[in-house]
Amino acid sequence: MSEIVFDTYGKTRVRLTYVRRLDTHHELKELTVDVFMEGAFQDAFTKADNSIVLPTDTMKNTVYALARNNGINSIEEFARDLARHFLAGVAHLNKVRLEVKEVPWNRIGESPAAFVQAGLERRTTSFVATRSSETVRSGIQDLQILKTTDSAFTGFLKDQYTTLAETTDRLLGTVLQGDWLCTGKDLDFNQTHADIRSLLLATFATHKSLSVQQTLYVMAEAVLEQFASVAEIHLVMPNKHCLLVDLSKFGLDNANQIFQPIDEPSGYIEARISR
């Protein structure tokens, strides 16, 4: 006898470009939305009962319709609107999860309607709603950062296979992934996201790093100390190595100037820090 122990279904990678046309300038948002539903959908799997299935195409259309009707101020508020809409419309839906990624577009100079994409960085949110609770996590994905000094790595564990040399001055590069649990009501998600991003970058830039682990913790701690609305922060900081090139074979020195960037393999550092 078999039974379903977990099931979900939804629509992924719903892409949306939204233009807010103000009198003085335009605002541009590019989103990718994933919708995942959980509830009393077992009969759709076991009995082919489609009467309980909201088509995933309808989910896609709902993303566009709610963007038109409600506008998009922040991805967190847009995810909330979608979650509440689905819970109100599908009686046997117990939980809905919205995963939204935003491509940052910045205005070109003073132009009111021309934009340039910021690169690989994405703003993210994960909004989970049930009949009795709502949880929102905001975040950053693929933010590439690097510092050329104030980074050391010494005193580490060594064994017979260790070849890494200790250093008190190295390049420290990472592709930052992070998300934080938001609490409280009436948050300005756009301003909070911008302020946390700025604080993470400022802390990374000014901290004298003794390891990536330490730097990650100091960055997370700074956010928790400054933002009472953040209950927990999760950061992932892979160590994207830049290796000093040996130029001695050419009769040249290398005073920490010439490096070879290495994408793979990379170190992996992750931690979740709460109050």
Q: Please list the active-site residues.
A: 11, 56, 241
In the sheet that holds 230-236, the strands lie side by side as: 9-21, 26-39, 93-103, 122-130, 134-147, 172-182, 230-236, 270-274
What backbone phi and psi angles, to 5 degrees, belong to 235? Answer: -125, 140
3-state secondary structure of 193: helix
Contact (Cβ atoms closer than 8 angstroms) between residue 129 and residue 84: yes
Count the Cβ atoms, other than its own, within 10 Å of residue 228.
10
3-state secondary structure of 200: helix
Which ranges in 54-145 belong to alpha helices (H)? 56-70, 75-89
Task: State how far the Cα of 273 lies from the Cα of 201, in Å rounded to an integer.
Answer: 18
Closest CA to 236 of 200, 189, 192, 182: 200
What backbone phi and psi angles, to 5 degrees, belong to 64? Answer: -70, -40
147 HSE (CA, 13 A, CB side)? 18
Q: Which amino acid is at 170?
A: R
Burial 151-176 (b: 16+ CB within 10 A, else e): bbbeeeeeeeeeeeeeeeebbbbbbb
